[in-house]
Amino acid sequence: MLGDFYKEKEADAVWWVDDFNSVGKHLFSFDKRKIYNLFADYPYNMTAEEVAIFSKENPYWREFFQDRFVDKDGDDK
């Protein structure tokens, strides 16, 4: 069961939503219709614009997943 949508900051474009049926899922949305799973979808299943917005508003997660943004030689993808 999903909880209510909420923003960490009023000006954010990212809406977070809690999943009461599981532990450790980080779910978010830009439009309250399509819900992304942070660990499964970021950045692979998002548009370039969504990735840019999410990364700007959530620098902690951008840093946490930095390996998803570099190729095997350590260069930016």
pLDDT tens string 23-36:
889 999 999 999 99
Q: Distance (Å, rounded) from C-alpha 35 to C-alpha 27?
A: 6
Q: What is the pLDDT of residue 74?
A: 65
Quick check: 4 and 17 in contact, CB under 8 A?
A: yes
What is the rounded (10 degree) CA torsion for 46, 41, 32, 50?
-30
Q: What is the pLDDT of residue 70?
A: 85
Residue 8 has pLDDT above 80, yes or no: yes
Instruction: Tell which residue, 35, 40, 31, 43, has the closest CA to residue 18.
Output: 35
In single-letter form, the type of residue at position 50 comes to E
